[in-house]
Structure 1
């Protein structure tokens, strides 16, 4: 039946049900898109986002660039949404220092993201969501192991500690390689040689051994870390869109596989150390951790037992933490020194006056090398090793 104007005077039950469903869906999307603000607090500024998607499309392929642009418009503290998950973005030195330094205990936790559960089989200190007594005990263990390695020394060596010995040896090899490459015709990219040297120092710290640069195990480890960095840098949409965890996801499968291979590599090294461990002969960080749970047994403060599995997790965290950051720091330093020959000359003059050419610099020379230290600190201040930090909770 229609009216004089040609409009229907009634609708069927199916049409009414469909219209109601659409209305409810739109209402739910609108509600889900609107972040809930606790009573008494103001809503954070931020751009408008798409229903369900949030600001995923806004961030694009270079999220750090997009977020920097948004911070210029909305300030050092603003909010976006990834899917329906609200994310607070901090930028600016004072703001970040306030959150991560002055209020570090309030922001030390990690979000419980789906992809984080695959890192070190969910046992990672860096990516794990737990920040309670167990986490604190493991963190102290890692710090103590690093400190022990930094002060322990080989009586037969002129170096002040094992760490200095490994760094000096690797620096000698890296310089020799650079001299060989510079004697040839053409140009070269120093990054690939720097990353191999950094990997060698970290292997020496964690596992007590150095590899030749053409060793296949070291090459596979460097390539594995490079793959991990590329996959991790692209992010995981499955962290924010539940349905993607159940659909075919090649990127997520690759991420799982890389973590499994890293874990297997580290687990095998820890097993080797367990078999050859000697109580009075601590060779590296892994030995220091094994000593803790075999000899010292319990952490006196948190009363937390450390197992083989947790040892693998701690070693893997220490191994991964220094890989990219140290390589990037050295690469920035080389780039600045190549483009600033005047500074390069001043550093060399200071080194010649204090150290001379007969030996390499040592940690003990640091107080007499103020200009070199100032250049290093200024490089750290002026450069950026990562586009943003791992998310905090």
Structure 2
């Protein structure tokens, strides 16, 4: 099932602009640009006051992802979004606190860890309810001639399976809504959290290495100027900026609990 879903998702996400080629590249870039401008405007309103950039980054990044997979945008101060982000943050912390169970399974029965497992279960249930609301709304407003986002592509696939009498074999017979919720959760949490963490690493590494920040700024001023935003078309002319981004990616720890890591040399 994983292979089937991966193939399906790759094909559909490309049609919504998640590709580096052709028109898709422009679609994706325009979505990102819109959110970056909103982010920059929000930060400028702080007027240099000390601020935690994490919530602003989370909002901007999630809006790019949400517009593609669920066709929605959140606004700063949105109560539902704040709760949703709190659940994701809590979920990562809870998983991190019981990671030893992956290596010593019998520890799952320890009283303290057992309570954490219960908390994780409640966390997942509340997140699933959030995604189910989205699926229900899409189902109520579904139009097969106007596919808006990833949720619609799945609803169309379910309709096709029903028409062909293959409903029982879709998702290998598992509950359709449950599977959609899981896929939306995976795409959102993995896509949002990794990008946000990478950008937070970039900010803190630039703060600790002002000479690197200055080199990037000088290159951007020279090639792009300050009257417009940098674009993907500028990338070939920004070797220092690209090298700095790659160095951030090399040094930062994005998914420390995902799998074992080692240097190649």
Q: Give the TM interval when normalised to the shorter protein.
A: 0.7 to 0.9
Q: Decide which structure has the larger Cα Rg and report it.
A: 1
Q: Does 1:259 align with 2:124?
A: yes
Cross-structure match for 2:246? 377
Cross-structure match for 2:59? 196
* Structure 1: distance between partners of 2:86 and 2:111: 29
Q: Which stretch of the first structure deviates more once superposed, 205-214 or 354-363?
A: 354-363
Structure in which a larger fraction of residues adopt helix: 2
* Structure 2: distance between partners of 1:162 and 1:280: 20
Alignment of 1:380-391 (within 5 A): 380-390=249-259
* Structure 2: distance between partners of 1:364 and 1:297: 44
* Structure 2: distance between partners of 1:196 and 1:353: 30
Report the CA distance shift for 1:348/1:279 in structure 2 as closer, same or farther (over 3 A): farther
Check conservation: 1:206, 1:285, Cα contact below 8 A. yes
Pairs aligned (count): 247
TM-score, normalization by structure 1: 0.55
Q: Does 1:143 align with 2:19?
A: no
Structure 1 portions without partners, runs of 5+: 1-133, 153-157, 299-303
Q: Which stretch of the first structure deviates more once superposed, 336-345 or 267-276?
A: 336-345
Alignment of 1:196-345 (within 5 A): 196-235=59-98, 240-241=105-106, 244=109, 249-295=114-160, 305-306=170-171, 307-345=176-214
Alignment of 1:94-133 (within 5 A): none
Give RMSD over aligned pairs. 3.2
* Structure 2: distance between partners of 1:360 and 1:204: 21
TM-score, normalization by structure 2: 0.79
Check conservation: 1:159, 1:165, Cα contact below 8 A. no
Offset at residue 359 of structure 1 (A):
2.4
Cross-structure match for 2:232? 363
Higher relative contact order (CA 8 A, sep 6+): 2
